[in-house]
A and B are shown apart, each in its own frame.
Chain A
Amino acid sequence: MAGPVLEMRSIVKTFPGVKALSDVTLTVRQGEVHALCGENGAGKSTLMKVLSGVHPHGSYEGEILFEGEVCRFRDIRASEQHGIVIIHQELALVPFLSIAENIFLGNEHARRGLINWNETLRHATELLRRVGLDEHPETRVADIGVGKQQLVEIAKALSKQVKLLILDEPTAALNDEDSGKLLDLILELKKQGITSIIISHKLGEIRRVADSVTILRDGRSIETLDVKAPETTEERIIAGMVGRDLDHRFPERTPHEASLDAAPALEIRNWTVHHPIDQQRKVVDDVSLQVRRGEIVGIAGLMGAGRTELAMSVFGRTYGRYAGGTVLKDGTEIRTKTVAEAVGHGIAYVTEDRKHYGLNLIDTIGRNISLTALGKVARRGVVDEHEERQVAEGFRTSMNIKAPTVFEPVGKLSGGNQQKVVLSKWIFAGPDVLILDEPTRGIDVGAKYEIYTVIDQLAAQGKAVVFISSELPELLGMCDRIYTMAAGRLTGEVPRAEATQEVLMRHMTKDKEVSR
């Protein structure tokens, strides 16, 4: 076994009021892929920010040894000079610059301030080949998908002669195919001698690429496990993360016996949507589905399958151009041309992107919760602040939103708690049908369980729930029925009893011609 390339010893980092890291030790061996996992708020990102100089030397206690040498990074540049490059969860690319310009941003091939374009393009082409990205280097970054943008980030890291690559949840925004490619690339880079640290919530992918895994909990390093060892199971890792055995990842659910006589709470017939810009392209193609009261119905699909597009276009035509189809609520056709109409008919859509589409991050918890249904705490257009606050306090307690008061700005909460606020907001609106789009994306295991429990309760109260998710185990654990989509079309409908990951995946990867 190779010796350690990186040692972080007894790292302590305090923010005003909180101890983010207390006595964290991390040892990474030369040439390995080292996973870092832990619940949100466990201190993973903070630890990596300490390592990469985002939190400069002096703002933390403890020691960092890289290649046997004590390092005191003042800023990111200093750590990059040593070959430590971090790729953040939110990509740091400039959308309207080309791939090549982005790769060499801040690090241009230039002489006396003038850029040498030939050298730039040659080098960019070479780097793109290394990361397996088949795009012209002069393509604008805005014109390529998130998966490819991630590869551009890695190419950028390679251009800096990276020795230790840090990836903060690199596959969070990627579909399975792009995730697979990215993980292969990490393994490929490992062969070339590049050490990686990968922060991830996805245990499957840790098992696939990582050699060892360090678990953080509440700002402490709990343990480091050898991933290849047989006793390191997913359950074992989860137990380390939550500090307790997690026998049940999902609440106990009594599957709903769909009574076929009652009209479905929500029925969508022959729904077709065209792409907002490219109007020839059908993003959602003749989709029909239904969900009954008390039922949780999943929609599975790879990225680009049209699940979010379907949901958003039904919900007030907030995506694309409507090209046909009807929506029925309890058997009668309804208009859902605007969000207000959809909400008025008792439909709620909980977005997959809570930061951009779900919350006003600078406003308080209370005001975010009341926004969709302000009328409920208002009389003649005037909001009763006291009643509003009481409602919000109610949700803070019942949903276990971790914040001192409801006056806390939502932007200061962790992902899981933000998600609870979004859910509270829509539950307060009092819908009959809830469309939940990736409700557990990017949140930790403990919070996930809490969200599952809430969803279960909603169904038990007789609400119809549509559950869109990319995580198959979650759909299998929660849903009574699962629809699958591929390339804008519905490709299957699988009851709970027959659903396995393999069956769903087969439907999700069906070709257009084969289906129907």
Chain B
Amino acid sequence: MSTDVTAKSPAPAPPGPAGAGLLGLMLAGLRRNMRQYGMLIALGLIVVLFAIWTDGDLLLPRNVSNLVLQNSYILILAIGMMLVIIAGHIDLSVGSLTAFVGSFAAVLTVQHGVAWPIALVLCLLVGAVAGSLQGFLIAYLGIPSFIVTLAGMLLFRGLTEILLKGQTLGPFPNGLQKMGNGFLPEVGPNTNYHNLTLLLGLVLIAAVVWQEVRDRRRQQEFALEVLPGRLFLLKLVALVAAILVLTMLLASYKGAPIVLIILGVLVVGYGYVMRNAIFGRHIYAIGGNLPAAKLSGVKDKKVTFYVFLNMGVLAALAGLVVAARLNAASPKAGVNFELEAIASSFIGGASMSGGVGTVLGAIIGGLVLGVLNNGMNLLSVGTDWQQVIKGLALLAAVGFDVWNKRKSGS
């Protein structure tokens, strides 16, 4: 690394000229994706700081496991919210909707003894219906999403209380509880680690490496520019290391939480849709310039409708996870969840005017808030100050974005 500095001088290039080029390329890539990498670096910094302040407690296997469980539902909501915000809308109803779906699940399983897999499907359906109702009003009747979902926020909260008659309902059947608290089952010989988690980690590493290598080969096939070999290798090593560390941490406690698996599938799936599917492209197009998208033949109303339908389903899923984790449905569940999801999206790079943002960004944003929460809990900071600090974090993230844009713009 030390050779990089000297290689910058215009003196004849040393035998290994890739040194300066490597750093240069990394910096160029960093500058291009300032927002994403900036937040990733900020997340890393927050993790390191809290790890130091808590004498390493933050990174204890048990706490990492906890961190995932605590934040899973906000992250699920943040994925859906990111899509809504990219499309140029907002959804204020998701907190209430999670509570409503949770209470619906409780009524079904606790009061009526419905088998939990059936209840699960019914709950997701309820989310889809709620989402499509709001989506219909927004997309086809043209009522602003802020107003429709503000109404939805009041409506679903009210319905939750009606359903639960103001009381807390529980406990849930075992199967459903697992969604919020469960871990992958233990199999195989007794090592000191959780075998299935290790295996999963290794499979994941193999998949990631395979995908990256294939992608690179495809790029070369199309005669496109590719990352230089050394930088590509560096990227692979970083990815593998990150997965490995997380796997080892989780495997040395109870293994991977089930909700982490759900979340992983969602992130990969939605990330793929937003990046590569026509549907995803159309969301970016209508958020970026609605009239232009219309004149390009994008079915804007249909896209908007499905974005809200999808938000409803994800809110239902989050509602099930919350209820399962608390092992009870409460009328006060899900309060302010919509705001946390919105904050996650904005910290993760969404723009008020739509058209910008990534699924991974929403996750990073959610994790920033989550680690702040968890770290401050470990340090026994009161909830009052936690709110203040989270507010400042949101301001700082968006402020940095605005400043960065102004600097790069004219």
A contacts, CB < 8 Å to B:
15-16, 315-316, 318, 338-340, 342-343, 349, 351, 356-363, 367, 370-372, 374-375, 378, 381-387, 389-390, 393, 407, 425
Please determine whether B276 and A363 come into contact, CB atoms closer than 8 angstroms.
Answer: no
Task: Specify which chain A residues have a CB less than 8 angstroms from the CB of B291 in the assembled complex.
Answer: 356-357
> Which residues of chain B are near A315, meaning CB under 8 Å?
295
Contact with A along B273-305 (1 / 0, CB 8 A): 001111101001100110111111111000000
Residue ID in chain B nearest A350 by CB atoms: B295
User: Are A339 and B294 neighbours in the complex by a CB distance under 8 Å?
Assistant: yes
Question: Given the known A-B contacts A367-B281, A378-B278, are A358 and B288 also in contact in the complex, defined by CB atoms under 8 Å?
Answer: no
Are B296 and A372 neighbours in the complex by a CB distance under 8 Å? yes
Question: Please, which residues of chain B bring their CB within 8 A of the CB of A360?
Answer: 284-285, 288-289, 292-293, 355
- Given known contacts A362-B356, A382-B276, A385-B275, what 6 new A-B pairs fall within 8 Å (CB)? A318-B294, A318-B295, A339-B294, A342-B297, A349-B295, A425-B296
Which B residues are closer than 8 A to A by beta carbons? 32, 218-219, 221-224, 272, 275-279, 281, 284-285, 288-289, 291-299, 355-356, 408, 410
- A-side contacts of B296, CB under 8 Å: 339, 371-372, 425
A374–B276 touching, CB < 8 Å: no
Q: Which of A316, A343, A363, A386 contacts B285 (CB 8 A)?
A: A363
Which residue on chain A has the smallest CB distance to residue B407? A16
Q: A15-B410, A357-B292, A374-B281 are in contact. Are A343 and B297 (CB under 8 A)?
A: yes
CB pair A390 B224 closer than 8 Å: yes
Given A339-B295, A378-B278, A383-B278, decide whether A367 and B289 contact each other with a Cβ distance below 8 A.
no
A360 to chain B, nearest CB (A): 4
Q: Which residues of A contact B279 (CB under 8 A)?
A: 381
Contact yes or no, A381 B278, CB < 8 A: yes
B401 to chain A, nearest CB (A): 13
**B222–A389 contact, CB under 8 A?**
yes
Q: How far is the CA of A390 from the CA of B222 in the complex (A)?
A: 7
Q: How far is the CB of B361 from chain A (nearest CB, A)?
A: 15
A344 to B410: give the CA distance in the assembly, Å.
40
Q: How far is the CA of A15 from the CA of B409 in the complex (A)?
A: 9
A sample of 12 inter-chain contacts (CB < 8 A) reads A316-B295, A318-B294, A338-B297, A339-B297, A358-B295, A363-B284, A363-B355, A367-B281, A374-B278, A381-B279, A382-B276, A383-B276
Q: Which residues of B contact A343 (CB under 8 A)?
A: 297
Q: Across the interface, name the chain B residue whose C-beta is closest to A374.
A: B278
The reply to whether B292 and A358 contact each other, CB–CB distance below 8 Å, is yes
The 8 closest A-B pairs by CB, nearest first: A360-B288, A339-B297, A360-B289, A386-B222, A372-B296, A340-B297, A343-B297, A374-B278
Q: Would you call B288 and A362 a contact (CB within 8 A)?
A: yes
**SS class, residues of chain B in contact with chain A:** helix
CB neighbours of B272 from chain A (8 A): 382
Closest B residue to A353 by CB, please name it. Answer: B291
CB distance from B288 to the nearest CB of A (A): 4
Once bound together, how far apart are the Cα atoms of A385 and B355, in whole Å? 19
Using a Cβ cutoff of 8 Å, how many contacts connect chains A and B?
A: 88
Q: Nearest chain A CB to B289's CB is how many angstroms away?
A: 4
Residues on A with beta carbons closer than 8 Å to the beta carbon of B293: 360, 371
* Docked complex Cα distance between A316 and B410 (Å): 37
Quote the shortest CB–CB distance from B34 to chain A (angstroms).
14
Q: How far is the CA of A425 from the CA of B295 in the complex (A)?
A: 12
Q: How far is the CB of A101 from chain B (nearest CB, A)?
A: 26
| Distance in angstroms between the alpha carbons of A370 and B276 in the assembled complex | 12
Q: Give the Cβ gap from B395 to chain A, nearest Cβ, in Å.
A: 23
How many angstroms from the CA of A315 to the CA of B221 in the assembled complex?
Answer: 38
Chain A nearest CB from B57 CB (Å) reads: 42
Cβ contacts under 8 Å, A361 to chain B: 288-289
Q: With A358-B295, A371-B298, A390-B224 in contact, do A363 and B277 touch (Cβ < 8 Å)? A: no
Minimum CB–CB distance for A48 against chain B, Å: 14
Establish whether residues A372 and B288, one from each chain, have CB atoms under 8 Å apart when the complex forms.
no
List, in ascending order, chain A residues with CB within 8 A of B410's CB: 15
Interface centre among B219, B278, B356 (most CB of A within 10 A): B278
Q: In chain A, what residue has the closest Cβ to B219?
A: A386
Query: In the complex, A351→B293 CA distance in Å?
Result: 12
Contacts of B223 in A (CB 8 A): 390
Contact residue among B276, B284, B285 (Cβ-Cβ distance under 8 Å from A385): B276
- The interface residues of chain A lying within 8 Å CB-to-CB of B284 are 360, 363, 367
Task: Tell me how far the C-beta of B353 lies from the nearest C-beta in chain A, rounded to whole angstroms.
Answer: 9
Q: How far is the CB of B300 from chain A (nearest CB, A)?
A: 10
A351 and B278 in contact (CB under 8 A), knowing A360-B355, A361-B288, A386-B218? no
Q: Which residues of B contact A349 (CB under 8 A)?
A: 295
Contacting residues, chain B, for A374 (C-beta < 8 A): 278, 281
Would you give the shortest CB distance from B103 to chain A, in whole angstroms? 36
Find chain B residues with CB under 8 A from A316 CB: 295, 297
Which residue of chain A has the shortest Cβ distance to B32 in the bound complex? A407
CA distance A316 to B294 in the complex (A): 10
Q: How far is the CA of A340 from the CA of B297 in the complex (A)?
A: 5
CA distance A358 to B408 in the complex (A): 24
Asked whether B281 lies within 8 Å of A383 as measured between CB atoms, the reply is yes
- Give the residues in chain B near A385, CB-CB below 8 Å: 275-276
Once A339-B297, A358-B295 are accepted as A-B contacts, the answer to whether A383 and B219 lie under 8 Å apart by CB is no
CB <8 Å contact, A389 and B224: yes
Instruction: Name the CB-closest residue of B to A315.
Output: B295
Distance between Cα atoms of A15 and B277 in the complex (Å): 37
Given contact pairs A362-B288, A381-B279, A390-B222, A351 touches B355 in the complex (Cβ within 8 A): no
A340, B299: Cβ atoms closer than 8 Å: yes
Question: Are B224 and A386 in contact, with the CB atoms below 8 A?
Answer: yes
Contact B297 A372 (CB under 8 A): yes
Q: How far is the CB of B53 from chain A (nearest CB, A)?
A: 38
Residues of A within 8 A of B222 (CB): 386-387, 389-390
Distance between Cα atoms of A357 and B291 in the complex (Å)? 5
Tell me how far the C-beta of B252 lies from the nearest C-beta in chain A, rounded to whole angstroms: 38
A371-B281 in contact given A343-B297, A359-B289, A385-B276 (Cβ < 8 Å): yes
- Complex formed: what's the CA distance from A197 to B218 in Å? 55
Smallest Cβ distance from B99 to chain A, in angstroms?
Answer: 34
Given A371-B293, A389-B222, decide whether A363 and B278 contact each other with a Cβ distance below 8 A. no
Which of chain B's residues has its CB closest to A17's CB?
B408
Complex: how many Å from CA A393 to CA B225? 11
CB contacts (< 8 Å) of B281 on chain A: these are 367, 370-371, 374, 383
CB distance from B306 to the nearest CB of A (A): 13
Residues of the A chain whose Cβ atoms lie less than 8 Å from the Cβ of B408: 16
Of chain B, the residue at the smallest CB distance from A363 is B288
Closest B residue to A360 using CB positions: B288
A339 proximity list for chain B (CB < 8 A): 294-297
Q: Roughly how many angstroms separate A329 CA and B222 CA in the complex, as a whole number? A: 36
Closest CB in chain A relative to B304 CB, distance in Å: 16
B269 CB to closest chain A CB (Å) equals: 12
Residues of B within 8 A of A390 (CB): 222-224
In the complex, which residues of chain B have a beta carbon less than 8 angstroms from the beta carbon of A342?
297
